[in-house]
Chains A and B, each alone.
Chain A
Amino acid sequence: MNSLGMWTLFKRETHRFLKVNMQTVAAPALTAILYLIVFRYAMGDRQVPGMDVDYFTFLIPGLAMMSMLQNAFANTSSSIIIGKVMNVHIYLLMAPISAIEMVLAFIAGAVLRAVVVATVFLLVLIPFVDISIHHMGLILIYGVCGSIIMGGMGLIGGMWSDNFDHMSMVSNFIIMPLTFLSGVFYSIEQLPPVWQQVSHFNPFFYLIDGFRHGFLGVGDSDPWLSIGIVVGFAVATVLLCWRLWHIGWRLKE
């Protein structure tokens, strides 16, 4: 067990995004706030159908979670693809760190970035809006599981990609639609029945719904039942990353 090696890799991953914090922390928080302003004035005081909350309040947790998911993905995927393009990933392959240690350190870095971005976003909002917290435990479980899943997916996406073009294909054509269509901007009650059914197969739906439940106490599914789904999904993602790193999938010829 090389715990110092893991810690070093985690610090490197953290250091990497903190060094360019305007791009990695401030920019995503600003984007989320812009969404909020736009929808605030576009939707007015409209209520979300079937829930006892106004649209603005409904949006805040969803946007926080969406930023978390996208940033967790960006942290691992950019690290791996920059490493591959600049050939520095060989230093990770040569290091005496086992595959599971490697994966856990990468994902921990992604989770930290996700938490930092969401926290900055919420802190900026506090002076202007009243942010209620219904259940902190739910917020943490869904936030952390979501970041683990997306950190892991970023790792896999980075391993699969050979260049920045591949990478942006994954993030624009897979990750963006899944996060956008997961109920950040609407309650799935508002969708036609078929798409309601489809949404139940989108893991991001459970993440955002459960996370929102932690803030508002309302949602489209039972957050306590969905915990099983997201925890299972997080564990499966980590196991898959472990396996892929172990065999050197698309990293070693």
Chain B
Amino acid sequence: MSIALRIHELSKCYSNNKLALDSASLTVPEGSFFALLGPNGAGKSTMINIMADTVLPTSGSIQLFGREMFDERLWCKRQMGVVPQEVAFDPFFTPREILKMICGLYGQKPDMKWIEELLDRLELVQHADKTARQLSGGMRRRLLVAQALVHRPRLVILDEPTAGVDVELRKRLWEYMREINANGTTILLTTHYLEEAEELCDHVAIINEGKVIESSRMDELMHNVAGSFLWLRYGDGLSLSAEDEGALSEFLPRIQDGKLCLTLSRIDAQQSSFHQAYEAAKKRFGAPLDAGVCQEDLEDVFLRLTHQGDKQ
């Protein structure tokens, strides 16, 4: 398996002494569709901005397709296309002009066939000659995606590309990204839509408080890390006091959709900690109105892992 991106012990401490990245390491295989997940402020954008060369790292190294990024910056920049989180567009130019210009900045003659294809696939053809100022929020997002793809990068980095894009359009955008990925382009994606990430991505890393706390193939994560949990419904207004949390701590208690959720672990091949969890909850809150056991999905795993991080 060849490696597209290898991040090694990358740290970033901002001038206000905020440690945004704390020796984060990450490996992205070539050709993968990689989800980089984390709560707000976890360090995802800092990591991406360091790769994009808009933020300077404090320490660490990055290899892109086998070359040291900080030694061979210009070569590495040509291999990457980045969709930034904040919408940024040049107010003086139209989408078609912007795409031609980006090609030029990357040292390429504009490939008009490819530019037209991008405009078409990202549904910008009708707006290609308006100034960027006249575009709606969703169109601007799509223009950013086109800008990142126009020089045919080998690695595309998408930082929240679908924030503020409606469901229909989001689906079509993902479909297109899947196609791009199928043609051999590696994609690194951050998103808050975890269901979509689970469906789209074949690899996943979870970052919390500047550290990568989990990184694996998506199917392995779901097989090895995702467990099951017990949910218990106690009517409205259930909340957890510090004492409750202490008493139930081995089950990582949390309230989700008004229900108490307790993570179950395996005792042996036959048995989970269902009985212990149920009894512990009953002891504190009494018999529930309703209860059930669910398999964790990516969102549950994400919440559990990042929650554990908070506790530590």
Determine which of A3, A4, A96, A251 lies in contact with B77 in the assembled complex, contact meaning CB atoms within 8 Å. Answer: A96
On whether the beta carbons of B56 and A253 are closer than 8 Å, the reply is yes
Whole-angstrom distance from the CB of A4 to the nearest CB of chain B? 5
Provide the bound-state CA to CA distance between A90 and B86, in Å: 10
State whether the Cβ of B55 lies closer than 8 Å to any Cβ in chain A: yes
Determine which of A5, A19, A94, A251 lies in contact with B92 in the assembled complex, contact meaning CB atoms within 8 Å. Answer: A19
Q: How many contacts A-B (CB < 8 Å)?
A: 83
Residues of B within 8 A of A252 (CB): 53-56
On whether the beta carbons of B105 and A91 are closer than 8 Å, the reply is yes
Output the nearest chain A residue to B78 by Cβ-Cβ distance: A96
State whether the Cβ of B213 lies closer than 8 Å to any Cβ in chain A: no
On whether the beta carbons of B89 and A4 are closer than 8 Å, the reply is no
Q: Using a Cβ–Cβ cut-off of 8 Å, how many residues does chain A contribute to the interface with B?
A: 29
State whether the Cβ of B176 lies closer than 8 Å to any Cβ in chain A: no
What per-residue 1/0 map shows which CB atoms of A80-103 lie under 8 Å from chain B? 001000111011111111100000
Whole-angstrom distance from the CB of A169 to the nearest CB of chain B? 22
Residues of A within 8 A of B56 (CB): 248, 252-253
Assess A8 versus B53: contact at CB under 8 Å? Given A86-B91, A90-B84: no
What per-residue 1/0 map shows which CB atoms of B82-119 lie under 8 Å from chain A? 10101111111100000001111111110000000000
Taking Cβ atoms with an 8 Å cutoff, the residues of A that contact B are 2-5, 7-9, 11-12, 15-16, 19, 82, 86-88, 90-98, 248, 251-253
Assess A90 versus B88: contact at CB under 8 Å? Given A2-B74, A95-B77, A253-B14: yes
Whole-angstrom distance from the CB of B72 to the nearest CB of chain A? 10
Residues of A within 8 A of B105 (CB): 5, 8-9, 91-92, 95-97
On whether the beta carbons of B54 and A86 are closer than 8 Å, the reply is no
Residues of A within 8 A of B104 (CB): 4-5, 7-9, 11
Determine which of B14, B53, B88 lies in contact with A86 in the assembled complex, contact meaning CB atoms within 8 Å. Answer: B88
Provide the bound-state CA to CA distance between A4 and B106, in Å: 8
Provide the bound-state CA to CA distance between A9 and B52, in Å: 19
State whether the Cβ of B186 lies closer than 8 Å to any Cβ in chain A: no
Provide the bound-state CA to CA distance between A91 and B89, in Å: 9
Q: Which 5 pairs from chain A and chain B are nearest by CB?
A: A8-B104, A87-B88, A96-B77, A95-B105, A96-B74
Q: Using a Cβ–Cβ cut-off of 8 Å, how many residues does chain B contribute to the interface with A?
A: 33
On whether the beta carbons of B102 and A91 are closer than 8 Å, the reply is yes
On whether the beta carbons of B92 and A16 are closer than 8 Å, the reply is yes
Whole-angstrom distance from the CB of B215 to the nearest CB of chain A? 25
Whole-angstrom distance from the CB of B110 to the nearest CB of chain A? 10
Can you add 4 more A-B contacts, CB < 8 Å, to A94-B54, A95-B102? Answer: A5-B105, A9-B104, A86-B89, A88-B90
Output the nearest chain B residue to A83 by Cβ-Cβ distance: B90
Interface class of chain B by DSSP: loop
Residues of B15-42 whose CB lies within 8 A of A: 15
Whole-angstrom distance from the CB of B283 to the nearest CB of chain A? 51
On whether the beta carbons of A96 and B107 are closer than 8 Å, the reply is yes
On whether the beta carbons of A4 and B88 are closer than 8 Å, the reply is no
Output the nearest chain B residue to A97 by Cβ-Cβ distance: B105
Whole-angstrom distance from the CB of A11 to the nearest CB of chain B? 8
What per-residue 1/0 map shows which CB atoms of B138-166 lie under 8 Å from chain A? 00000000010000000000000000000
Output the nearest chain B residue to A3 by Cβ-Cβ distance: B107
Residues of B38-96 whose CB lies within 8 A of A: 52-56, 73-75, 77-78, 80, 82, 84, 86-93
On whether the beta carbons of A93 and B92 are closer than 8 Å, the reply is no
Residues of A within 8 A of B90 (CB): 86, 88, 91
Residues of B within 8 A of A11 (CB): 104
Residues of B251-294 whose CB lies within 8 A of A: none
Provide the bound-state CA to CA distance between A86 and B98, in Å: 15
On whether the beta carbons of B82 and A94 are closer than 8 Å, the reply is yes
Provide the bound-state CA to CA distance between A98 and B75, in Å: 11
On whether the beta carbons of A94 and B86 are closer than 8 Å, the reply is no
Residues of B284-308 whose CB lies within 8 A of A: none
Residues of B within 8 A of A12 (CB): 101
On whether the beta carbons of B54 and A4 are closer than 8 Å, the reply is no
On whether the beta carbons of A94 and B77 are closer than 8 Å, the reply is yes
Whole-angstrom distance from the CB of B145 to the nearest CB of chain A? 14
Provide the bound-state CA to CA distance between A95 and B107, in Å: 9
On whether the beta carbons of A5 and B107 are closer than 8 Å, the reply is yes
Provide the bound-state CA to CA distance between A92 and B101, in Å: 11
Provide the bound-state CA to CA distance between A95 and B89, in Å: 15
Residues of B within 8 A of A96 (CB): 73-75, 77-78, 105-107
Residues of A within 8 A of B89 (CB): 86, 88
Provide the bound-state CA to CA distance between A11 and B147, in Å: 18
On whether the beta carbons of A253 and B15 are closer than 8 Å, the reply is yes
28 intermolecular pairs with C-beta atoms under 8 Å apart: A4-B107, A4-B109, A5-B106, A7-B104, A8-B101, A8-B105, A19-B92, A86-B90, A87-B86, A87-B87, A90-B52, A90-B84, A91-B102, A92-B105, A93-B52, A93-B53, A94-B54, A94-B77, A94-B80, A95-B106, A96-B77, A96-B105, A96-B107, A97-B74, A252-B53, A252-B54, A252-B55, A253-B15
On whether the beta carbons of A93 and B54 are closer than 8 Å, the reply is yes
Provide the bound-state CA to CA distance between A82 and B56, in Å: 22
On whether the beta carbons of A94 and B53 are closer than 8 Å, the reply is yes
Residues of A within 8 A of B82 (CB): 94
Determine which of A86, A93, A98 lies in contact with B74 in the assembled complex, contact meaning CB atoms within 8 Å. Answer: A98
